[in-house]
Structure 1
Amino acid sequence: MKAAKKKSRKLAALVSALSSIPNIWSASSVQSEPEKWLSSWQIYKTVEARIQPELFGYHFVGYDIRGGHGAVSSKIDKFDPVTMCGVTRSGRVYQLLGLPGVNPDAQYTLDAWIHRNELVMEEATEEFVQHYKIDLERLRKIAPQP
């Protein structure tokens, strides 16, 4: 009986350790994937970066509809509110689709990315929308209906 309990505790410890390691992979190269299309997108801004703060700022977060997973961009360099396209520090183009929203896979990816990069981030979608004068009503009209 003691051996079974010991095995059970070891297994529980292993499961706990494995579940604490996020299942996140690095983004493909910009050359192999120059563009991403994000639905349920948000904007997050860096409040504190302990390592290489120049690499961080405002970032696209959303569901990559082509790849079928959550995505977090490098720092946003340029954004066009008419086309809803942005270019990031890596040179990748992000096409924002539809209205801002929350996707669980994107949030999971963001949380792991924040942890790995030792950042403090805050949601800044409303600030971004106001800064770029994004017309949410126009987006609502052209967004696909469920």
Structure 2
Amino acid sequence: MSISDWQILETQLGSRHFVGCDVRNLTGRVSTAIQEFDPAVLRGITSSGRVYQLVGPRGWSENGRYLWERWCKVNDITSYTDVTAESLAERP
């Protein structure tokens, strides 16, 4: 799964998620919790086993924002933090 206009967001529960836009059809995308992330190649594996490839510069798509907000409501997420910069600085 390749996503553009991406961010890494951490919920108040401590789970981190890729949020962005699916490059195939430009729909919003929110991953399950990130289990592994390699900032050198911008690739991560989530709890569902899906591999996400982050494409292009980080950003914030309207489709991604909409889906993230809906996902937060459904999952009772009341706060989150953008940890993109922190995640990119981490080394595996």
- Give the residue type in structure 2 aligned to 1:73: S
C-alpha RMSD of the superposition: 1.6
User: Larger % of helix: which?
Assistant: 1
Equivalent residue, structure 2, for 1:117: 75
Gaps of 5+ in 1: 1-35, 49-55, 134-146
Richer in strand (by share): 2
Query: Which of 62, 76, 79 pairs up with 2:20?
Result: 62
Q: Which residue, out of 81, 84, 88, partners 2:46?
A: 88
d(CA) in 2 for partners of 1:131, 1:84: 11
Q: In the TM superposition, what is the alpha-carbon distance from 1:104 to its structure 2 partner?
A: 0.6
Superposed displacement of residue 108, structure 1: 0.3
- Return the alpha-carbon distance in structure 2 between the equivalents of residues 95 and 69 of structure 1: 15
SS of 1:101 mapped into structure 2: coil
Residue in structure 2 matched with residue 106 of structure 1 by the alignment: 64
* Mapping for residues 120-135 of structure 1, pairs under 5 Å: 120-132=79-91
After TM superposition, list the pairs within 5 Å mapping 1:34-49 onto structure 2: 36-48=1-13
Gaps of 5+ in 2: none
Q: In the comparison of the two structures, how many residue pairs are matched? A: 91
Q: Aligned-pair distance for 1:71?
A: 0.4
In the alignment, is the contact (CA less than 8 A) between 1:114 and 1:121 conserved in 2? no
Aligned-residue offset at 1:68: 2.1
On the 8 A contact 1:58/1:76 being kept in 2, the answer is yes
Question: Percent identity among equivalent residues?
Answer: 37
Question: Structure 2 length normalisation: TM-score?
Answer: 0.90
Q: Distance in 1 between matches of 2:52 and 2:42?
A: 8
SS at match of 1:126: helix
